[in-house]
Each structure stands twice: as structure tokens, then as C-alpha cells.
Structure 1
Amino acid sequence: MAATDSVRPQLDGLDLARYLAFVGMVFVNFKIAMGADTDDTIISTFITALEGRAAATFVILAGIGLGLSRVQSYKRTVYGIGKRALLLFMLGCLNMLVFDADIIHYYAVYFLLAAFFLPLRTRWLFLVILLVNILFLAMIFLLDYDLGWDWKTYSYPDFWTFDGFVRNLFFNGWHPVFPWVSFVFFGIILSRLRLHTRSTQHRLIAAGLSLMVLIEGLSLWLTPLLMPIDADLATLVTTKPIPPLPLYILAGSGFACFLLGLCLRSAAHVKKLGILPLFAPAGRQTLTLYFAHILVGMGILEALRMLDGQTAEEAARAALIFCIGATAFSYVWAKRFTHGPLESLLKLTGK
């Protein structure tokens, strides 16, 4: 989400990256909500490629924002983040009443946990990321990942029971704390780089692209080799977001690095063209726009009876129309107000 007052002046590229990550999430969520089947068309393939990647980038950017915070008082920082996390958690749970794939209530827990790890040195954060993913692998072997799910309807019938809620939140939900919190930790690590320098930006682009190609290639190579032996074993090398296994975490991190580096490097050129001010406000109002794409965007689609049986092309068209409208709204709103509606509420909570 948008950075807080304690964050140093934002790099234009971060706003651009946040905007693009949000747009990617809208395309993915509209495709899911509109019941569009995955097929061999270019648009369907493109949206499928964004599944899990756009959301991972969104969370990593949140970690960067957290890492860029000036921590003058550690206790005060944890207290402030705790209050905001509580508000996000409540908003996310309310959102779950209308949208099963909500990320905000997970996001609140990521942020709260990450706040306690802010003082750690980079090498220890890498170790924590490793341990989080090892823990999730152990959970995959020891627990039933399918428990609670109705995969035919992609619903979680016992979500509102205590056991179901905890299981969904920490283990087998859409964006479970383990291992998704490692994206926030990785974002904190990235925040410690000299993001404003060209050399760092070039390294992010090169490293991110290389990691994506390597991991996706490794998955494509290993899957057909392991499938005849054991289908469950082959699942362990998937880069799909469900379940979020280590190769997915690596692929998502690579995508985020590539997009981040590209946005940081191109932001100055986009600014010279005079179009960055059109996108930057939306990049700073992503909390408001996230709820808007569900309550307003999907609400309109429901009124038009377009939430089932649509094509990927129709989902992409609807997502594009919404994103254009959201961008225009954010631009007009920013002319009069510093922060978006929900961002302002979040800032008041943090005081």
C-alpha cells in the first residue's frame, strides 16, 4: 500500500511499480470472478502468467515501504504498525464476506510479523525466509493441504470456524502467512539497496529476469520427469501460487525484482513524457482502489450478470475499463487531497 509519513520521499519508480502490480491483480481477480476459463489465447496466457506474480510484487513493495521507514522508536513503530494492522485485518475480514480471495487480512498479519524483524541484519532476514519456507514444506508433508477446500467451487466452507480460519490464514488459504510473509521480508531486504542508482536498477532487472527464466525452466524440466514417478512429488516443483512452494516463491521474487528494476529505471523517462503524474496517484491509493475493484468493479459486473461463464477477453476488457476509471479517479482525487480515502483513515489510525 502507500507508504507512511515516516517513509523518506518516494522514488517515482515505486509508485509506478505499485500501480502496475495493482493493475495485474485486477486482471487476475476479474478473470477469477468472471469465471473465465484458461485457454490458449494470448490474453488468457498473459493473465495466467500474472497469477500470484502481481500479488507477490504487491506484497514485496509493501515490504520495501516498511523497510524505508525511519525507525526513530522501535516500540512506537511496532505499536503504530499494530494499530494499522488491526484496521486492515478488520477491513479484510469484512471484504471476505463478498470476495473469498481477499489479501488484506493476510496482509495485516504479514505487516505485524515483519515489524518485529525490522532490526535484523540482512543475512538473518535471508535465514528467516529460508526457515519460513522449510516450515511450510514440513506443513505440506505433515498436514492435509486440501482440508477445508471445495476445489470445484474454489470455496472454503468452514472459513468462519476457528479451526478453519486459523488453517486458512497460516497454511492453506489464498495467500497464507506461511510462506507469503517471506515476500515482505524480501522487500525489507530490497529496501536496503541503493535503489536510486542505475547499477542497482540494472542488477535488479538482470537478476530478476535470470531468476524467472531459471526457475520456470527448472520447473518445466522436472515436472515431466517426476510426474510418472509420483504426481504429488511433481507438485513440489510447481511455480503456481497454489500451493505456494519454494519454486513459486523464487519465481515471484524474480518477477518482482524485474518489474521493480524496470520501473525504477524507466520512471525518469516516463516522467519526461508527462504521463507519470497520471499513474503515480493511483500507485499511492492502492488500498482504496483494491476495495473499489471488488465493491464497485465486481459489483457492476454482478449487476450486469457477468460474474460467471465469461471469456478471458471479456475479463480483460472489464479489467481495462475499471483500471482506466480508477486511474482517472485517483488523478482527480489527488488534485484536492494528499491521500486516498482509505489511506487517510489508515494514517489517522497510525497516529
Structure 2
Amino acid sequence: MDNIYRPRAKRIQGYDLARGVAIFAMVIIDFKTFFCIDETFPEWLYTFIEYMDRRAAVALVMIAGAGMTLMLRKAELTKTRNTLFKRAVFLMLCGILIARIWPADILHFYGFFILIGLTMAQLSGPGLLIGAAVFWLVGFLGLSDSAYGYLESFTAGSLPSRFANLFFTGYYPVFPWAALYLLGMWIGRRNLKNRHVTITLLSSGLLVAVLSECAGYFIPGMAIKTVLAHGASDETAAYIFILLSKLTVIDLTLPSPVSIVSGAGTGLCVIMLSFLCATSLKQRPLQYFLIAGKNTLSLYVLHILFIKGFETLPGIGEDYPILWCTAGAILFITTYTLLMRQWLKKFAMGPLESAMRYFPFVKAPRIMKKDPGTSTG
């Protein structure tokens, strides 16, 4: 097989595959969001893509956390920390620029997650889970009407508004999304080469996802019936129903506490299934996901530029069938991977991955291959 698909010893193929699947889903979701406003046939496809909104990002955040843990296992710990810090700064700068045309940018949040991870990297496994629980719990504060109204009252573009966006009101706010990053760091400490561990985590993720979905569906209605049966007034029952609905609704765009748990469950399933597929299937059917997974930053930025450029063309609307949008996204990703395959024959990594490795553009490491037989990482 072509040597560009043989990973370095440093890379873990399961994470690359999971990252590729997640960015693949994110591109499809974004094509659907910009070019398919109304629900169209087939409804099951539209509903599934709608359900996966933000869940692809959950998987990417968790994988990033796991990747940090793996990097910090290196012997040169100080050098690794400096590398991660520079990577965080690079991603935040890129994100700030992209956010000017793409309000849903994740890179500047992603960079801040790395900084949080660096401050908590010395915690034990249980300590990481406790830290994740704290970020998850503080996220509740942004759900109250008074807190949300206060956070939204800041003048747009002001420093307080930017901080409110970063921590509570943005697309991927630190509270509670940093909890997913810390959970990923905890996963990175697990021995996923052990099939028993992988299957156990897969089962746990599936169970968590199912239970959280059931909680979101049943708890508000059951609570209403219970309080009314015990003589509560209609006003009290309505208040309890609204409160529980906010806490249990499965909607990662809010994000509610239960939806974060649900997202973590599906993210865990994506990662564990990717590990099982990477070890049990031949590599060739998965090579396109692997290429995308090793070069997610370039694909992420390129798909944003493509969508923003394409929607400005004359005659381009927002009412295309979901099948057309999905096919367009698949065609875009296929074209990207074919071009990236040619790029990787000469370079060791994607263009933006190389730029991040160079940052701050001094003492740049080698990004050209020594010879055609050198693998990419």
C-alpha cells in the first residue's frame, strides 16, 4: 500500500480515524446548515444530521484532550508544554480571524481548552473527572433567565461581551465544554489497545447516551404528573416543567446539562468504534478518513472558506434538498483528500498543520520529507 497511509509510531490510528469521522460529519452538518434551511426528503437523513449538530464537535474536543495526554507522556515534558502553549496561541489567533466571517468558529475555544488542560495536566484520573464535573456544573449558571439576560446585556464587541461569549454564551463555551476536553484527557490515560477496555468504554458511552436521551424525554412529563397528583397548583407545575425542560432538553446548542452528558456518550462511542474499526478492518477502506483525521485543521479552515465563497456566487440559495447538500459535502471531502494525498507525497503534513508546527515561525522543524519512503504523521 502507498506509504503515505502508514502512520508513524507516535500516532495512534484509532484517534486519527475518530478525528476523520468527526470532521467528516462536521463538514456535512455545515453544508446542511448553510444550503438546506427547511426539512427535506428523506426526513430521516435530515433528522440524523440535525441530531449530530455539535456532536461532531464534542468528539473532536474529546479527541483533542486525549491527544494532549499522549503528548505529555513524552520525556521532554517542558518542551512539550511549550509546544502545546504555542499551539493554543496559534489556534486562538486563527480562530479570532475566522470568527470575523464564521461566528460558529471552534478554534479560539479549542485553544483555550488547551490552556485549561495545561493547568490541570498534573491531576490524577479521578481529579480530571472532578474537574470535568465542576466545569459541567458551573455551566448551569448560564441557563437561568437572569444570568443569561445579564450576559447578553453587554454591548456587542465589548471586552465583557467577548468574555461572556467565551465562557457562557458562545457556540462552544468553556462552561461546560471544557468538561468534555478534560474527559478526553482522562480517556487518553486509558489503555485502548486493550480490547476489553475499549468495549467497556463503548458500552458505557452507549448506555450514557441512551439514558440521557430517555431522561430528556421522560423526566419533565413525569415530574408534572407527580406534582399535580400531590396537589400542586398549575402555576407551580408549570414552573417545575419549564425548569426541568431547560435542564434535560437534548440540545447541544444551549447546551443543557443532560445534552452535554448525551454528547459525551456519543463522543465516547465514536472514539471507541474507531479504535475497534482501526484494528479489525483493512486500512484501505478507511484511508480517506485517516487522511482527513491527520489534517483536520486544514480541512476545517478550507471548508469554511469554500462555503463562505460559494454562497456569494450568483444564483446560490439556501433551499437545496438535503441529499444534494450531503452529496456536495461528500464530493468536497473526497476532492480534499485526493489533493491532500498528492500534497503528502512531498510534505510531512497539511499546510496549516505545518504553519502551526512552525509557529511562531522561528527554529522551524523540518516539514519536507527526507525521501519518498518517509511516512507522514
Contact 1:216 1:251 in 2 (8 A): yes
C-alpha spacing 1:119/1:41, structure 2 compared with 1 (3 Å): same
- Counterpart pick for 1:127 among 117, 122, 130: 130
C-alpha spacing 1:157/1:136, structure 2 compared with 1 (3 Å): closer
Q: Deviations over 1:47-82 (max 9, x none)?
A: 011012111001101111111113435544333222
Structure 2 counterparts to residues 69-108 of structure 1, below 5 A: 69=71, 70-108=73-111
Q: What residue is the counterpart of 1:152 in the other structure? A: none
Which of the pair has more CA radius of gyration?
2
* Residue 266 of structure 1, CA deviation: 1.1
Which piece of structure 1 moves more, 215-224 or 287-296? 215-224
Structure 2 counterparts to residues 248-327 of structure 1, below 5 A: 248-272=259-283, 274-303=284-313, 305-306=315-316, 308-327=318-337
C-alpha spacing 1:207/1:259, structure 2 compared with 1 (3 Å): same
Contact 1:36 1:315 in 2 (8 A): no
- Counterpart pick for 1:178 among 167, 175, 180: 175
Gaps of 5+ in 1: 1-6, 150-155
Matched residue pairs, number? 338
C-alpha spacing 1:233/1:271, structure 2 compared with 1 (3 Å): same
Which piece of structure 1 moves more, 197-206 or 70-79? 70-79
C-alpha spacing 1:35/1:96, structure 2 compared with 1 (3 Å): farther
> Partner amino acid for 1:201?
T
- Counterpart pick for 2:209 among 208, 212, 216: 212
- Counterpart pick for 1:141 among 138, 141, 144: 144
Q: What residue is the counterpart of 2:30 in the other structure? A: 29
Q: What residue is the counterpart of 1:17 in the other structure? A: 18
Residues in 2 aligned to 1:226 and 1:147: alpha-carbon distance in whole angstroms: 29
C-alpha spacing 1:307/1:180, structure 2 compared with 1 (3 Å): farther
Q: Is 2:310 the partner of 1:334?
A: no
TM-score by length of 2: 0.83
> Partner amino acid for 1:122?
G
C-alpha spacing 1:159/1:342, structure 2 compared with 1 (3 Å): farther
C-alpha spacing 1:232/1:305, structure 2 compared with 1 (3 Å): farther
C-alpha spacing 1:83/1:187, structure 2 compared with 1 (3 Å): same
Residues in 2 aligned to 1:9 and 1:321: alpha-carbon distance in whole angstroms: 31
> Partner amino acid for 1:320?
I
Residues in 1 aligned to 2:84 and 2:170: alpha-carbon distance in whole angstroms: 23
- Counterpart pick for 1:229 among 231, 234, 238: 238
CA RMSD of aligned residues (A): 2.4
C-alpha spacing 1:307/1:13, structure 2 compared with 1 (3 Å): farther
Q: Is 2:121 the partner of 1:118?
A: yes
TM-score by length of 1: 0.88
Q: What residue is the counterpart of 1:51 in the other structure? A: 53
Q: What residue is the counterpart of 1:199 in the other structure? A: 196
* Residue 203 of structure 1, CA deviation: 1.3
Q: Work out the percentage of aligned pairs sharing the same amino acid.
A: 28
> Partner amino acid for 1:175?
Y
> Partner amino acid for 1:78?
R
Q: Deviations over 1:251-303 (max 9, x none)?
A: 1111111111111111134335x223333121100000000111024422432
- Counterpart pick for 1:164 among 155, 161, 164: 161
C-alpha spacing 1:264/1:281, structure 2 compared with 1 (3 Å): same
C-alpha spacing 1:232/1:119, structure 2 compared with 1 (3 Å): same
Q: What residue is the counterpart of 1:243 in the other structure? A: 254
Q: What residue is the counterpart of 1:66 in the other structure? A: 68
C-alpha spacing 1:233/1:269, structure 2 compared with 1 (3 Å): closer
C-alpha spacing 1:170/1:331, structure 2 compared with 1 (3 Å): same
> Partner amino acid for 1:229?
A
Which piece of structure 1 moves more, 218-227 or 235-244? 218-227
Q: What residue is the counterpart of 2:227 in the other structure? A: none
Residues in 1 aligned to 2:314 and 2:188: alpha-carbon distance in whole angstroms: 43
C-alpha spacing 1:143/1:10, structure 2 compared with 1 (3 Å): farther
* Residue 142 of structure 1, CA deviation: 7.4
Gaps of 5+ in 2: 1-7, 225-236, 364-377
